[in-house]
Structure 1
């Protein structure tokens, strides 16, 4: 474990002893504290790096994952003195860094590019600034006002149809987060944020063959896992049976065996539902590599687990599946003595399916290429594209081709011509029909389905806010990762917003908090800097892999993954489990939130809430149509529980 904190005073006052004691008490679970005080403040390093150069007037603390300490050849301060902010770009590590530059009277903070290591701060111009690995350490400072940030609710409780950039705002007014991939400068009078991350794509620029990309990915991914296992005694790994978790588990056990170290502990969560059963793929991994395998069940009391994670994380639950799911692994990992947990969390945002290759072909008007790619996509053995058509498995090969072409090309035609005259749109659609030799029946079916979808879409609920809350003035613009994402996405095949976004970063932060309390370090090999760079620079056609998708993994790790996993084209569906837990959570909290005076009803319209609840609990509605409603109901309850537990000091 590890963590950092500090208080810097600009007003000449000493740091309060009570504030220092509170910080040490609240972060004690992160390790033994090393404290350094100077004339303007105090720095805390909990099992972390403390680096001081009195002659240069630089005082620094850094929380970095074991095995990837920043400044391997030089000290943290030396790196900063030599390279300034660009020194952060030299690090391939999960890190949070804070430096007090006494000569410039400036506090400099920085985080790794995916925000695995959290870092939050308070800045009161002319008075003081403070930073910490956990928000609760800042809330304990006597001068910090504990006031919820109502503007954050809008983002938290709105069903998003696009990636949301990660912003510096937190659920508390006056407390902010250092942005991933950025540095922050704080002085007595102002603050300034800048991006330090500049991806190095030179390793990829000369590659031309799919096998070369796959080889580079394998090398970088293996190194990422080696670094994250470092000198850990007992390493664990999530193993769901999917490509991401299986890749992490297989490579980790392969490396541990080669290094003659204790075997990997793998953890699978069994919900007891057929829709989430991936035991066939899990067993294939276990049989091939013989890790120490554990099957656990979700913590049965969903409400208790939500309250626990709200307490640990200092804000409402973030996961779509409640943390009863994740706590079960942490509890078991602690019982068997794991000091590190590897996870394949959101590997598919880094190593993509490549299915946007079809969009690229359409943009280039390479219709022969589009036809070939569509045929490759539908011809893969075991391919089940029920999201394209519920009747997919019963369709003939010709019907599958027509349906998929219309799903892919038709959607593009609609998006391009929806604002043009209807006759122009119709002529374009007819041209596509002739080009792909589509039947009139399939065209009619497609058009009718589009009309139905449009009617249904109008009735979808995206949020449940009261009219008064809807009228709440928009927040002032704050710093966010949007600028970095926009800048880099224009240059690379994979849009950076797909990787650095609110969902990913907050899930990273939450797992990091959870691990700190349960005695293990959560690590994310897919979010390694070099792995991300390979993912950003790999052309879509490589990942498309002749219609299979995830080509870098399937080709790069084909000798490590079991054949059953390497060839699988499906993913487990947790909508049914999410629906059951949402209903269970409502039943456990209905009396608590029923009171008309509960603060949640200042934010949420009861009638819309009841409409969402009806959909979630209606057994006649297909489970696949409940995803957003499970999400909305759960998050409204998560927020209500957090508000009830919020400290009342102000």
Structure 2
């Protein structure tokens, strides 16, 4: 399988190295200049005595700049050259959506890289101070210019195998020690041996602060419709994932407003607990698309091997990405050139769950009592009780209320602040008939649960546990100037894991010949969503109220009013078991995987997952980590095969 990329190239910072640059022939996809070369389509590169420019632009940016500079509207890179000459590094204020830019100022030998705000286009690079800067949208494509890729980064492997306890900002660290990733929403500046990255994305949610609730709902609808329309503009055959959930269903229904024909793809794993057919069918009946029901590939090992080769690193999905490949296979078969996704509608729209904490911290007992009842009534909380859906509304309210208060009291007790614990417990007891006996039973339950779910030992080898790599550069600067009330949600929207998923889909699309677009990732929509108060997001307990109200009449009511997601726990366990059995003979005791992973502890966790006596919920944190071990092993095998 040949690596596929949209752009790659090299710039020689050192003029002496430039004189000895790699030989190449100028052609349709290779543009040579005195200090290097750029490989991409002709319209994405522009060389003048002052600049060498690479520009990959989305259609919205092409049209905006083309209207400003009509004499160069056929060449994206020339448009960016003119924009940079006019606005300098402030040009990002005029760009939205998808873009990836490299500008080499030839007389001053300065280099600038601008990556879009959501990381829609990957940008990887290797920089040798005072030497060269090579770059590409695929890590494998860097090998055209340097052999200096080899060498894994143990810190990245450690992070990959260690579940994060909170949202992590995007980092420039990759699995390869010498390869870095440009940060979304940042400008990278290189001069000589100096490298600087500075955040250019600043948000203004305050512009929506004084708007009424009805105005915000109408604005949300307008912005969401506009984002979907922009995503599909210029494409011929539009497809969209359709899982039956609120996000993908919203995308499909709105896309149908703009196209007579839309293809929808439902990946059915064939497991009863994950069956979304009822909700999918309600969308199909509503919009009458070309609908396809597909199934994950049968051979999980082969699917992951293909994905890993496309992605140049281990799989990043919690459940193996046979889902994405199954829909991509069908999309290619019918000639789709665009696939819409609902990623990451959850974070952008917001659930309003912080409302409960706010009411508790401010001791607003009346509103807290209402919110707890609404939450328990609307949500699927089978993680608390496997029989949750069989409980009466009163039983649900009591069960969740007790859980919520005991959880908060447990937090206080862990701080060893007994005075605060008893004061808070007394307040809750007076307001909500709190029982100390019940609380002690709850604490006992937590201890038992943590015993069942605790790792049987670190999955990391001792060497990796104590390894501490070089500091990375991350996107923390994005949050420094933001008002506190917006930070938590914005961290969720821009966290490392979600951008990893975007990059993974990008690489799949390169191989299959279609683009992926994510309409929830729209700058104005994000600003508006941040400004919407938690109480409004919370609604009547289901959460995501702004989207539900904005799409009333557009979405089927069965989907619009559903208060829970399908649980993929059972399917996740099945895929792990299948993949383990398929790789059991591959990952022998001598396999390089065990240089990074403690094999004894992994096998103990495997036994726990295979144990039918342990409840499914108590296996899931182990299952997710164990899956990543297998994904890592598949990738390590591919690296070895390439070297051979």
TM-score by length of 2: 0.92
Q: Partner of 1:164 in structure 2?
A: 168
Compute the displacement of 1:51 (Å). 3.8
Write the mapping of 1:30-49 to structure 2, written as runs, cut at 5 A.
34-46=29-41, 49=44
Contact 1:583 1:617 in 2 (8 A): yes
Q: Partner of 1:319 in structure 2?
A: 317
* 221-230 vs 365-374, greater mean Cα deviation: 365-374
Q: Partner of 2:629 in structure 1?
A: 636
Q: Deviations over 1:179-219 (max 9, x none)?
A: 1111101222111101010113254122132x322211111
* 79-88 vs 508-517, greater mean Cα deviation: 79-88
Contact 1:123 1:186 in 2 (8 A): no
Write the mapping of 1:463-474 to structure 2, written as runs, cut at 5 A.
463-472=458-467, 474=468
Write the mapping of 1:349-360 to structure 2, written as runs, cut at 5 A.
349-360=347-358
Compute the displacement of 1:401 (Å). 2.7
- The question of 1:460 aligning with 2:463 is answered no
Compute the displacement of 1:560 (Å). 0.7
Change (3 A) 1:365 1:79: farther
What is the number of equivalent residue pairs in this alignment?
628
Q: Deviations over 1:379-424 (max 9, x none)?
A: 44xx432233445345454443333223234323332453244354
2:246 corresponds, among 243, 265, 270, to 243
1:373 corresponds, among 368, 371, 374, to 371
Q: Deviations over 1:305-354 (max 9, x none)?
A: 11111111111111112122110111110010000000002210111111
- The question of 1:124 aligning with 2:128 is answered yes
Compute the displacement of 1:443 (Å). 4.2
Contact 2:224 2:519 in 1 (8 A): yes
Provide the C-alpha distance between the structure 1 equivalents of 2:555 and 2:17, rounded to a whole number of angstroms.
60
2:418 corresponds, among 419, 422, 433, to 422
Compute the displacement of 1:44 (Å). 2.6
Compute the displacement of 1:303 (Å). 0.8
Q: Partner of 1:505 in structure 2?
A: 499
SS of aligned partner of 2:259: helix
* 498-507 vs 67-76, greater mean Cα deviation: 67-76
Q: Deviations over 1:138-165 (max 9, x none)?
A: 1232342412222211011112222222
Contact 1:275 1:574 in 2 (8 A): yes
* 447-456 vs 306-315, greater mean Cα deviation: 447-456
Compute the displacement of 1:236 (Å). 0.3
Compute the displacement of 1:564 (Å). 0.4
Provide the C-alpha distance between the structure 1 equivalents of 2:476 and 2:172, rounded to a whole number of angstroms.
11
CA RMSD of aligned residues (A): 2.4
Compute the displacement of 1:461 (Å). 5.3
Contact 1:8 1:129 in 2 (8 A): yes
SS of aligned partner of 1:13: helix
Q: Partner of 1:601 in structure 2?
A: 594
Q: Deviations over 1:422-441 (max 9, x none)?
A: 35413321221111234566
Change (3 A) 1:222 1:580: same
SS of aligned partner of 1:186: strand
Contact 1:493 1:538 in 2 (8 A): no
Contact 2:154 2:464 in 1 (8 A): no
Change (3 A) 1:244 1:166: same
Change (3 A) 1:72 1:444: farther
Write the mapping of 1:336-485 to structure 2, written as runs, cut at 5 A.
336-380=334-378, 383-438=379-434, 442-443=438-439, 445-456=441-452, 459-460=454-455, 463-472=458-467, 474-485=468-479
1:522 corresponds, among 512, 516, 521, to 516
2:580 corresponds, among 586, 593, 614, to 586
Uncovered stretches (5+) of structure 1, i.e. residues with no partner: 25-31, 258-262
Provide the C-alpha distance between the structure 1 equivalents of 2:374 and 2:573, rounded to a whole number of angstroms.
35
Provide the C-alpha distance between the structure 2 equivalents of 1:493 and 1:169, rounded to a whole number of angstroms.
23
Contact 2:410 2:443 in 1 (8 A): no
Compute the displacement of 1:597 (Å). 2.5
Contact 1:15 1:42 in 2 (8 A): no
Change (3 A) 1:310 1:392: closer
Compute the displacement of 1:574 (Å). 1.3
SS of aligned partner of 2:7: strand
Q: Partner of 2:54 in structure 1?
A: 61
1:554 corresponds, among 548, 560, 565, to 548
Q: Partner of 1:328 in structure 2?
A: 326
Change (3 A) 1:201 1:591: same
Compute the displacement of 1:295 (Å). 0.5
Change (3 A) 1:514 1:156: same
Provide the C-alpha distance between the structure 2 equivalents of 1:245 and 1:466, rounded to a whole number of angstroms.
40
SS of aligned partner of 1:495: helix
Provide the C-alpha distance between the structure 1 equivalents of 2:604 and 2:237, rounded to a whole number of angstroms.
48
- The question of 1:563 aligning with 2:557 is answered yes
Uncovered stretches (5+) of structure 2, i.e. residues with no partner: 69-78
SS of aligned partner of 1:547: coil
Provide the C-alpha distance between the structure 2 equivalents of 1:266 and 1:20, rounded to a whole number of angstroms.
44
Provide the C-alpha distance between the structure 2 equivalents of 1:167 and 1:462, rounded to a whole number of angstroms.
28
Provide the C-alpha distance between the structure 2 equivalents of 1:369 and 1:586, rounded to a whole number of angstroms.
49
SS of aligned partner of 2:252: helix
Q: Partner of 1:624 in structure 2?
A: 617
- The question of 1:256 aligning with 2:254 is answered no
Q: Partner of 1:301 in structure 2?
A: 299
Contact 2:149 2:179 in 1 (8 A): no
